[in-house]
Structure 1
């Protein structure tokens, strides 16, 4: 994630003011309840303990009881009298409504209704995304505007301004729902949307990573009900919804930042301190303690307070918020932003709490590291991390080293020991480090990187090579919205350039790439290839779970096989600018007695018994017969 933006410096004296506010706040006014989080809960959860946050003037000065036999096991008060954390035991309690009653020494009484709702059938056993899926990453504000009525809202500071590259452009949940059939037609079976919860920053709020209310969908995107409807519409199409969850930070406009529940809710220093971004210090046995502290506790930017996962109240809040969204919206997975910026023990507890509740639930973490060993450290049951007695419990990591290789390799026309297609071979040769290579998110771009079509100058041959790799190697491929129609964008011009509006997502757009007849010939060439490739992949168990054997590249060509007991796929990439003749005797252990191979894209049949001729900068995906 890259969210560094040019906003005014606002951290100065923030913590001091909050602390003074907590200590000198008046305690004389009558209590009232303004916030209850979670707003409701579900019966029959694996962990029966529920921590309910109640916020209101002087609420901590009251004694609390619960009706209907609900047992209160703990009441936690902090230095802020306007918060109280009430823990109840939901074990052996079915779906029910009950009442919290607050009584003061002055015999004043206040009540708050609360509900435990019935869970969906087999909710705990819900399936999640896996290597059979292709994940489509989109930014809702830039994808499609399905409801013009929510473009601007009185409750949020930043208003609609499509003329401003970094402004709010009006894309929303309704726009996603209206184009689900298009996304499915590309070959996608899952959607990862960047965050949808409210971000009430005054500017640059369209990426929504600076959330101001994590129980509420941003009204410019729609409502909580709209988000649940998105999941329902996707499930009708056998698609999966993956929420982008942020454990490391909130936005400075979050309602709690105006009045912290406790000083320890966030990480802080004597003066504003930004993270050093050097997450290697977490496993570095030679690292200094101050470097570790700044890496983990430092803020991402001045407008994103760093959440303190070492604080049990904060950690429990985040665990319950994540589970609440899974139950409420019927989610199929999480992508976790800046996963290893958080306290290592805290983030591991957060992850394990969710997967304990949902054993099949997949969570992929953004672990932007520069080597396979560093990334493998963060995957669940890593033998590398076990050396330090650590387990993140994170099922999946994003394969950033493959991304780094794939954005360079296809411009290196001359192969060598370290250059050209050898970069891909070397990347996969380190797969032994990972506990589960099939459960890694693989990609060649995302919302924080240069667009792949920009990187390769809209050379569709190179795009096809990159997509072929994503579609045929181990892992879960992720496609960034618009690349399938040739969209480009230069990060050097700012993040807005890599997050442009999808053509046809707005009424009056001159080009509507959502429909076949609206695409230009160039867009159609990109789309037709991408759609055919990933729709083919949908049914290929040999790709989803088959084994891989690859051969050392020669003359900047790379050959690998995916195989299982039923099927064998042979993939050939010619990364040179010359036609190559590839002798097939070398591949006997995988070629076996197969005689021919049918190319998935061209549907031409090739004789593989002696040699295969492959054009410059091209690929062949052969189903062997």
Structure 2
């Protein structure tokens, strides 16, 4: 399916507006209005792309992605895909492939390049108006960091192993020199002791160091485990107080710096972190609801999730996503269906919040745990080593991957083009970035619809989550939206058949006489 931009004109009807002229033209920059000035925080107007450096692009043939590899692909990210924000997974020196056990907080992973390479990446991103944030792992360090042996009281110790276990029943005490140190995740990742002021001072020094390199912010890992007290291992009051103080500290250095919190928990437990402790947090329950709605073609849980978000968060103060580096790949969760993946992309990129796309999601990369298999090298083109490296990749791509990026760039109906078009649309219409959201009642349990609106733009968005074609698709709209011109910004078929709107006995308005399975549309009400 190729998504088209259509110019529509209002036909005067006594009741309402949505009679559409079906003379289509292909979406292009020359045919769109000049975007309105941004509103809200800078991150609210960005689309972020999560990169595992090791797996993105290898510039020197050693089989491991690197900073120069990202620089080489910035034109793809900016001009082809269209993102304008990057999140780098851990880049500090580390003994592990994933980097979440840091052994040197003041240097980069030598497999990725040098500190100068990293700074060049920052500069090249900024030349392209791409903001860049990096993972900052504060809850724990590697046991190979010099602190672990030289500053014992920077960690948490017991003279004997206690019978207590972690939040998911795991062992949390590990032996060393006749004592036991605490680690919530793994024996190689010892938790830092933030009741010791020296640890806090060191973390202040670290965040100042990286802010001075020009980075635009941080993704803060595992926040809910920061400070443990009296047997409570997560979401303690002491954690909240520490993070509030930390927030004030880094904002004193750079008030525009962004922090995105990872609190993998219920919305009720995430909310306190998203106010005065971070700028935004990832909304895990909403991500689950979006993926579930696409998978089941049922919107009930998605409506409930959005109602909770809209009622509890400040406007747009949350990060949205579909999957990340800790979860099975999206297409693998969706039974390898590219059509379902398009629906998921539509939900993500037309909704409020700051969206994050996991690298390879735009081409439907597949993978299920173990973790290494959901972090495989990017599939650039068909051929030896998938265009990722001239050497032997640190991990091989799956052998049956259907379509590389190069293939999909040549296919207007591909998943890649769906992401590209939706990102372009979001960047072009401010209401899709920072407008309010108003959920709408529809005539079908599989049709999800909502209004995005600010003081200058109103956008109506709807999607058929089911595969069955529907007739007389209606939404319940306030009469205040009447007597406007209508421009169809986006739709998912060359053969859609819009019909004159008419008011039903239930007070709904018929938007389309027929809407194909998995059909989606965005209308600008002018």
Closer/same/farther in 2, CA of residues 597 and 581 from structure 1, 3 Å limit: farther
1:44-193 correspondence runs (5 A): 129-148=42-61, 151=62, 169-184=63-78, 185-193=80-88
- Aligned residue runs from structure 1 range 365-514, under 5 A: 365-370=261-266, 372-381=267-276, 393-413=277-297, 420-491=298-369, 494-504=370-380, 508-510=384-386
Of residues 575-584 and 457-466 in structure 1, the stretch that sits farther from structure 2 once superposed is: 575-584
Aligned residue among 509, 512, 518 for 1:617: 518
**Matching of residue 338 in structure 1 with residue 227 in structure 2:** no
Aligned to 2:208: 323
**Which residue of 461, 470, 476 maps to 1:571?**
461
The answer to whether the 8 Å contact 2:59/2:68 transfers is yes
Do the aligned residues in 1 keep the contact of 2:473 with 2:515 (CA within 8 Å)? no
Aligned mate of 1:356, from 247, 252, 265: 252
Classify 1:590/1:483 alpha carbon distance in 2 versus 1 (closer, same or farther; 3 Å). farther
Secondary structure, aligned partner of 2:259: strand
Question: Which position in structure 2 is the counterpart of 1:197?
Answer: 92
Q: 1:549 to 1:435 in 2, by over 3 A?
A: closer
- State the shift of 1:317 in Å: 0.4
Deviations along 1:302-352, one digit per CA (max 9) or x if unpaired, are 110101111110011001101110112x01111101011102032332222
Contact 2:274 2:318 in 1 (8 A): no
Verify the 8 A CA contact 2:448 2:463 in the aligned structure 1: yes
1:347 aligned residue: 243
| CA distances 1:407-450 after superposition (whole Å, capped 9, x unpaired) | 2222224xxxxxx2111111111125534241211001000001
2:191 match: secondary structure? coil
Q: Residues of 1 paired with 2:420 and 2:113: CA distance?
A: 29
Structure 1: which 5+ residue stretches go unaligned?
A: 1-126, 152-168, 280-295, 382-392, 414-419
1:246-281 superposed Cα distances (whole Å, 9 cap, x missing partner): 110111111222x222x32012233467862379xx
Which residue in 1 is equivalent to 2:194? 309
| Higher normalized contact order (CA 8 Å, seq sep 6+, divided by chain length) | 2
The one-character-per-residue Cα deviations of 1:69-123 (angstroms, maximum 9, x if unpaired) are: xxxxxxxxxxxxxxxxxxxxxxxxxxxxxxxxxxxxxxxxxxxxxxxxxxxxxxx
Is the counterpart of residue 531 in structure 1 residue 425 in structure 2? no
CA change 1:517–1:399 in 2 (3 A) is closer
2:230 matched residue in structure 1: none
Instruction: Please tell me whether the aligned partners of residues 309 and 347 of structure 1 are also in contact (alpha carbons under 8 angstroms).
Output: no
- For 2:190 and 2:156, the matched residues in 1 are separated by 8
CA distance in 2, matches of 1:522, 1:335: 34
Give the alignment of 1:254-273 within 5 angstroms.
254-257=145-148, 259-261=149-151, 263-271=152-160
How many residue pairs are counted as aligned between the two chains?
Answer: 437
CA distance in structure 2 between the partners assigned to 1:520 and 1:394 by the alignment:
37
Q: Secondary structure at the match of 2:64?
A: coil
1:361: how far off?
1.8
If you compute each CA radius of gyration, which structure gives the higher value, 1 or 2? 1
Q: Deviations over 1:26-59 (max 9, x none)?
A: xxxxxxxxxxxxxxxxxxxxxxxxxxxxxxxxxx
**Separation (CA, whole Å) in 2 of partners of 1:272 and 1:216:** 34
| Contact 1:170-1:220 at 8 Å conserved across structures | yes
Distance 2:124 2:404 in 1: 20
Whole-Å separation in 2 of the counterparts to 1:195 and 1:145: 17
**TM-score, normalised on structure 2?**
0.77
Alignment partner of 2:100: what SS?
coil
Residues 596-615 of structure 1, C-alpha deviations (whole Å, 9 max, x = no match): 34142559794563321321
Task: Please give the root-mean-square deviation of Cα atoms over the aligned residues, in Å.
Answer: 2.9
**Structure-1 residue corresponding to 2:29:** none
SS at structure 1 position matched to 2:105: strand
SS of residue matched to 2:141:
coil
Of the three residues 96, 105, 125, the one matched with 1:234 is 125
SS at match of 2:101: coil
